Amino acid sequence: MSSHDNHQSLVHDILQQFDIDSDDVSKVTQRFLRQLQEGLDHPRPWQLPSYVYHVPDGSEKGTFLAVDLGGTNCRICLVDLLGNSTYNVTQTKQTVPEHLRINPRYQPLFSFIAKALREFLDRHKLRPENDCSAGARRIPLGFTFSFTCEQTSISKGTLIQWDKGWDIPEALGKDPCAMLQESIDEMELPVQVSALANDSVGTLLSRAYTSQEQGSTLAGVIIGTGTNAAYIEKVCNVQRLPRPERKRTHDSIVLNTEWGCFDDDLEVLPITSFDRALDASSINPRQQQLEKRVSGMYLGELMRLVILHCHEQGVFNMILGEESPCNRPYGLDSSFLSLLAKDKAAESLGVASAIERVLSAQGSTLRDARVLAQLADGIVRRSARLAGSALGAIIIQSGRLSDTQSEKGTVQVTSLQTHRHRSQRPKHFGRGCGLLSRIVGWLKRSIPSSTGPRNVEDKPLSRGSEQDIIDIGVDGSLIQLYPGFEAHMRSALRDIQEIGPDGERKVRMGLAKDGSGVGAALMANAAKLS
Ligand code: ADP
Ligand code: MG
């Protein structure tokens, strides 16, 4: 075999390792379904109740502040909910410096946020001078905090663990809202932290607020620095909820799945030598295994490890300089993978110079660019298909796919709710697990499909129409900016037997623009109601 053939077979072998076929997808989905179920029945650090019982219908109004602490950025937002499914948002964004993300103490991080908040209030003239008296009006603030918290109410929670490379040991076991309020009070800002929101919960809420079809939103999915999802579950299915909560009159509750930790035992997730190396040198080995295969923080690192391996084996013509980011752990950002994907589509000659610039490489060729693009595609394809497998588990769990499933106490918009007028839609969507659900099910079955509509408004919407839509709000730079990420997720949904091409067609994914900020405002609004 020539060295060229050797190199080709090495690349082929790596791509094979990253490939997951339809059987793998189904296994992952089944495993995740079990994990979803386990977290419904028992307290686990996943399937965390958000204590959000009111899903927005677009009529919410009010002015709120929001702090969105993602894995990379901190955004401060002023959100004006206009009550007609629209909003105005003003925001600033800052990257959180590394010495605050990894610090023995929590105070430096929270005073960084409070300072950013003070600047924001001053810039927008939201801080009345010399009026910090106890009676002064405080602006309610929703805090989107994208790390695992066990909540006890909509405004209180305890930080269980850091991930995405963060490590502030003193904050563990403490309430993020209380820590933020402490710094806010020290600066005497007229702000009350009134809700704690996970970013996936916020994404779901903001999508539901802006959605044109009431009750169609099922989940919020994040694929940014980290990955996570929240979805709407029936209260009666959530055995882990404290008894008084289950006795409340609400039908549905938003759960934060924390799916980044799914299959940490590696029963079904694919494992390559690159995954092993990444995990072993991470600050949280054996944890967040799905996240380490899916999210933006890790895909650049996987790519870096793959490039180094191929480079050592002489696959590339290019030479990596000593100062190349490939020689530094986490030196490569996942935006590099997007750049390759774009250029692959354009078959652009400019890609060679872009590669040389990003990798500090010399002498790269078009063939190098093609190989890099193939490798990036393999890594992202696996990421998106795994995310699709996980989303598939949520869709199956929701019972929204078929009428038969809907009779088993699952959350579904019934075909009786076909009126398009917003005011006629129920405020809480989904149905009870008990008598009401059985009556609705009976009514549904008793309407012969051949019966013509009495008027246009009564007409049951056909399959694949608005009525069947399973709406998913998505947020995060990777899913937004990597070309074709959604298409790969969809290919996984089609591979899942229970979903298939028919089910996949019902799924609509859409960007929850400003999801975390608007979601946090909606949480702060929900806090007023609870
Ligand atoms: P956060 O997670 O802080 O809310 P983002 O949603 O913006 O922030 O996600 C940041 C992550 O997205 C980083 O890991 C970064 O590497 C990745 N990212 C940023 N731009 C791109 C891009 N063009 N293509 C793919 N990934 C990207
Ligand atoms: Mg985010």
Query: Looking at the predicted structure, is the pLDDT value of residue 442 above 50?
Result: no
Confidence of residue 6 (pLDDT cuts 50, 70, 90): confident
Q: Which residue has the higher pLDDT, 476 or 437?
A: 476
Q: Closest ligand 1 atom, CA of 300? A: 16
Task: Give dist(CA 266, CA 353) in Å, integer.
Answer: 39
Identify the CATH assignment for 3-35+265-382 out of 3.40.50.140, 3.40.367.20, 3.40.640.10, 3.40.50.720: 3.40.367.20
Q: What is the mean pLDDT of residues 327-348?
A: 83
Q: How confident is the model at residue 432 (pLDDT cuts 50, 70, 90)?
A: very low
Q: Which of 315, 335, 314 is nearest to 325 (CA)?
A: 335
Comparing 493 with 452, the larger pLDDT belongs to: 493
pLDDT of residue 212: 80
Q: What is the reported pLDDT for 131?
A: 54
Question: Region 287-309: what's the mean pLDDT?
Answer: 98
Q: Which of 5-9, 84-88, 433-437 has the lowest mean pLDDT?
A: 433-437
Structure token digits, residue 283? 């600050």
Substitution candidate for ligand 1 out of 335, 383, 482 with most atoms within 8 A of CB: 335
Domain(s) labelled CATH 3.40.367.20 in the chain stretch across: 3-35+265-382
Report the topology of domain 61-203+518-529.
Nucleotidyltransferase; domain 5 (3.30.420)
Residues 6+ apart with CB under 8 A from 123: none
pLDDT digits (tens, 9 = 90+) for 170-225: 999 999 999 999 999 999 999 999 999 899 999 999 999 999 888 899 999 999 99
Alpha-carbon gap, residue 240 to 227, rounded angstroms? 24
CA distance linking residue 452 with residue 349, whole number of Å:
60
Mutate to test the pocket of ligand 1, among 109, 222, 225, 481 (most ligand atoms within 8 A of CB): 225
pLDDT tens digits along 17-71: 999 999 999 999 999 999 999 999 999 999 999 999 989 999 999 999 999 998 8
Share of the chain above pLDDT 90, in %: 73
- pLDDT value of position 348: 61
User: What value does the mean pLDDT of the chain take?
Assistant: 86
Q: In which residue are the tokens 């295969």 written?
A: 293
Distance of CA 18 from the midpoint of ligand 2 (Å): 26
Q: How many other CB atoms sit within 10 Å of the CB of residue 240?
A: 18
Neighbours of 323 (CB within 10 A): 10
Q: Ligand nearest 296 Cα, by number?
A: 1
Q: How confident is the model at residue 247, as a pLDDT?
A: 67
Q: For ligand 1, say whether the CB of 39 is within 6 Å of any of its atoms.
A: no
**Would strands 139-145 and 61-69 be described as parallel, antiparallel, or unpaired?**
parallel
pLDDT of residue 213: 82
| pLDDT for 387 | 98
Output the pLDDT for position 342.
Answer: 75
* Confidence at residue 135, expressed as pLDDT on a 0 to 100 scale: 59
Q: How high is the pLDDT of residue 349?
A: 62
Q: How confident is the model at residue 130 (pLDDT cuts 50, 70, 90)?
A: low
* Segments of the chain assigned to CATH 3.30.420.40: 61-203+518-529
Question: What are the pLDDT digits (tens) for 369-408?
Answer: 999 999 999 999 999 999 999 999 999 999 999 744 444 3
Pick from 160-174, 397-411, 421-435, 480-494: least confident: 421-435
Placement of tokens 């006795």 in the chain: 247
Reduced to 3 states (helix: H, G, I; strand: E, B; else coil), residue 132 is: coil
> What is the pLDDT averaged over residues 279-302?
97
Could you please report the per-residue DSSP string of 432-456? -SSHHHHHHHHHHHHS-TTSPPSSG
- Indicate if the pLDDT at residue 420 is higher than 80: no
Write the single-letter amino acid at 38: E
Q: Taking a C-beta distance cutoff of 8 angstroms, is the pair 32, 338 a contact?
A: no
In 3D, which of 250, 236, 228 has the Cα closest to residue 54? 250
Residue bearing tokens 């009010």: 62
296: Cβ below 6 Å to ligand 1? yes
**Does the CA dihedral 9-15-21-23 come out positive or negative?**
positive
